[in-house]
Structure 1
Amino acid sequence: MTAPVLVWLRQDLRLADQAAFLAAAAEGPVVPVYVLDDETPRHRRMGGASRWWLHHSLKSLDEGLRQRGSRLILRRGPAHRELAELAREVGARRVHALAHVEPWWRNAERAVAKTLDLVLHEGQYLAPPGTVLTGSGLPYKIYTPFWRALSERMPTHRPVPAPGRIDAPASWPDGDRLDDWTLVPTRPDWAAGFRTRWTPGEVGAHERLDMFIGKASRYGEWRNFPSVEGTSRLSPHLHFGEISAATVWHSVADAGGSVSTFLGEVGWRDYAANVLLQMPDYAGRSAREAFERFPWREDADDLRAWQTGMTGYPIVDAGMRELWATGWMHNRVRMIAASFLVKHLLIDWREGERWFWDTLVDADHAINAVNWQWTAGTGVDSNMFVRIMAPLTQSPKFDAAGYIRRWVPELSDVADADIHDPRIRPRGYPAPLIDHPHARARALAAHAGFKAQEG
């Protein structure tokens, strides 16, 4: 019998338009494997929300594989060690996988390639990271010219259907039980709101896409209004690779209207991957070196108030509570909440990046880092620090009254005209940690002093 080949799965948990599966299935018997690796050097352990999603996504993938005569093998430990051992057990020499940009996965790929024939395929993004280059052959650092160059290469490849059947090996190796990984919280069970909001897995991803297709042409008009279901909510499915970027692109590209705004957001995902490829430490170090000496405040009480949605700013608190309850936050509110932490509270952007990493179901390493550095003004392409978002203006501008009422029940009886900044604070709801004029003045003074010291 032909020797089996391994398919190494990571953030690519799908069967359709999955080049590693298609290549492996064409060679003979396939052993699909997911390795829970918290140990590879520079590996960043997945946050709690992502681990909840992973549990259900792996379960869904295994069901899809079994329908095709296969199954998913689970192992835990350093990926290179577990893959080498599994290959020895089944007599495999070749491993197919999709290439990843996260620094720990690139380290793992190099380690795996030392002992096995590792074949890497593209398929995580619209274009392979590192291939969208300037006229002089250099990678872009600024989004706008990057997106212009990427757009010229679109449309991306046509999605390829999942294989109808995947040949199994003569005998299956042992693997871990998914439940033994305890990825799902029990005591306490903080994920009740996740279960009512999300359907992880490839089937759930396509259902979510189908719901969005009819709204894609109005994305530009609706995406900023948190009280409206105007966004796609595809981000966790894209992050875990339950659906390919190519599938999303071809499904909505001809929707007309303002769909180009949405396509630009898909392109931002490619942009973030390219930034991370150039600067692997982007999540831990300010790209603008001078900001490593910025006088950030260390205030555990203010940080905790922000994390728990008790800042006294209704739009910020609604977002932070939505995040805790559902593992997701509306994109416009993410910007408001992030700006508040960095500029109103003057707390280091890395504190926010780490909190989002732990609590978001779509906690993508590249996007999370790029977004936080954009907000903080520390990134290679970022908003200026002195541009300070005003939550009390943003909230009524984007008609957030219904959104606030849903997530901050203390304010449920406050009229729309007052809910953005209640003059009378209901019992149990705090006064603002700092009023906006003072916060703005403090931030500008801190920045001016920082610039003078640098100067």
Structure 2
Amino acid sequence: LVSLRDELEQLGVPLVLRRGAAAAVVPAVADEAGARSLFWNRRYGGGERRADSAVKALARSSGLRAESFQASLLHEPWELTTRGGGHYKVFTPFWKELSSHDFRHPLAVPDSQREAGHAPQGDRLEQWGLLPEDPDWSEPLARVWTPGPHAAHSLLDDFADGALADYADERDRPAHEGTSRLSPYLRWGHVSPFEVWHAIGRRRAAAPAGSAAFASELGWREFAWHQLYHHPDLATVNLRREFDAYPWWGPGANGPGANEPGANEPGAKGSGADDGELAALLKRWQRGNTGFPFVDAGQRELWATGWMHNRVRMVSASLLVKNLGIHWRLGEEWFWDTLVDADAASNPFNWQWVAGSGADASPFFRIFNPLTQAKTHDPSGEYARRWVPELGSEDYPEPCVDLAESRAAALEAFRALRGDRT
């Protein structure tokens, strides 16, 4: 918000802060400003769509022109359909269709506006008390991230002219600076997907493999929003409803706590652990004390920076939902609370992908082994040592679960889910 306020001030536009329902606050501010039109970037979550529709209805009933526009996605979710007219559930045909389109070039930043002579009054940002105080855990994040379009565009240019060339090979190495780290800026609208798409496209000839790999990641982002648009309950309900019967520990399919801990069978880890032990395992996972250095490094990186490398996210999620048998929703909620790039689509989509319950999900039998993943993607242990300094000492915990036993238990639970006892 500080960055937004400063950017708008440079254009001669005041940032007005008000609390309340958007349908009431936004038209009221427009009326006080003497505005004749309201324009904003379209939103796609279920609650967001309802709120935007309410703003439009009230504004138009007051004689205001009210329009929302496509800005945060390359393509409108309802415009991409299968041959049968339905929405896509598999990424490959979705990506083939999406990438066949030409996307508009973004408009330039407008010239500075004439300063409003009667700007509506609003709260001071400091009045909202958004920053934590005791303790102030935001300070490390402020050292890592610089919000705003200027920082986003600088990061985009540096990536496109540098790491993009080796992105296809380096993106899975968390110890290396091989990714763009643009996800928070896309999440908060500091850079447009159109800007990213065309910046990458201009380097296609010089970096064909990296450009193709990175473009497909933008495609996965679009695919996640495509799913959320058609499944507004993506964060709470398994897309593959047969997974409602999977014996995860944690919330059931019909809302938090619908399956009270203790009503479920023990988690798929198969150790017979009780509720207290499973709650303790969840806490160990969150704090980066699982005894698996690759996972622990990721969780500690997350807590310190608000970000975790994508490869490590997948491995960490797999350990939670398949080896520990803890519901993906508890992992999704943790990432929502701690990631600076968590959004309403990609976060639950990716958790359901790992859990096997989502659209075009990873096969359930694909259970990431955190030890072999570390050997492949962090062979020197540089990433693990960076975030787990006590590694190799008696202070580092033993593994919290037997990987072979928990894998076998998870697969047995999945076979039972399908009615396959062989």
TM-score normalised according to structure 2 size: 0.88
Structure 2 counterpart of 1:188, one-letter code: P
Task: Kindly indicate whether residue 234 of structure 2 is the aligned counterpart of residue 282 of structure 1.
Answer: yes
Aligned position for 1:162: 109
Matched, 1:371 2:350: yes
Q: Secondary structure at the match of 2:175?
A: coil
Say whether the 8 Å CA contact 1:191–1:325 is kept in structure 2.
Answer: no
| Runs of at least 4 residues off by over 6 Å | none
Q: Distance in 2 between matches of 1:70 and 1:277?
A: 32
* CA offsets 1:115-158 (integer angstroms, 9 cap, x no match): 1032011111111222122233322121111011011003x111
How many angstroms does 1:370 deviate by? 0.8
Aligned match for 1:356, one of 335, 339, 346: 335
Alignment of 1:51-66 (within 5 A): 58-66=1-9
Report the 3-state secondary structure (helix = DSSP H, G, I; strand = E; otherwise coil) of the residue aligned with 2:133: coil
1:223 alignment partner in structure 2: 171
> Judging changes above 3 Å, is the alpha-carbon distance between structure 1 residues 275 and 454 closer, same or farther for their aligned structure 2 residues?
farther
The number of aligned residues is 384
Q: Percent identity?
A: 44
Look up the equivalent residue of 2:238 and give its one-letter code. S
1:263-319 deviation per Cα after TM superposition (whole angstroms, max 9, x unaligned): 100111111111101000011000011111111135211100100001111101000
Give the counterpart of 2:373 among 374, 394, 400: 394
Is the CA contact 1:93–1:116 (under 8 Å) kept in the aligned structure 2? Answer: no
1:236 partner SS: helix
**1:93 Cα deviation after fit:** 4.6
- Identify the residue that residue 427 of structure 1 maps to in structure 2: 394
**Alpha carbons of 1:138 and 1:167: their partners in 2 closer, same or farther (altered >3 Å)?**
farther
Residues 171-250 of structure 1 aligned to structure 2 (within 5 Å): 171-213=118-160, 214-250=162-198
The corresponding residue for 1:311 is 290
8 Å Cα contact 1:124-1:245 kept in structure 2: yes
Aligned equivalents of 2:91 and 2:326: distance in 1?
26
Residue by residue over 1:400-448, the C-alpha shift from the partner in whole angstroms, topping out at 9 and shown as x without a partner, is 511100100101xx5xxxxxxxxxxx22211111121111112112222
In 2: Cα distance, 1:454 partner to 1:114 partner: 55
Q: Which has the higher contact order (CA 8 A, sep 6+)?
A: 1
Q: Which amino acid aligns with 2:198?
A: H
Q: 1:435 to 1:109 in 2, by over 3 A?
A: same
| Paired residue secondary structure (2:362) | coil
* Matching residue of 1:24: none
CA distance in 1, matches of 2:14, 2:33: 14
Show the counterpart of 2:388.
Answer: 408
TM-score of the superposition, structure 1-length normalised? 0.82
CA shift at 1:204, angstroms?
A: 1.2
**Code of the aligned partner of 1:205:** A
* Alignment check: 8 A CA contact 2:318 2:355 kept: yes
Instruction: Give, as a single letter, the amino acid of the residue that structure 2 aligns with 1:186.
Output: E
Give RMSD over aligned pairs: 1.6
1: distance between equivalents of 2:361 and 2:199?
30
| Structure 2: stretches of 5+ with no match in the other structure | 61-65, 251-277
Q: Is the 8 A contact 2:317 2:354 kept in 1?
A: yes
Moved more, 68-77 or 326-335: 68-77
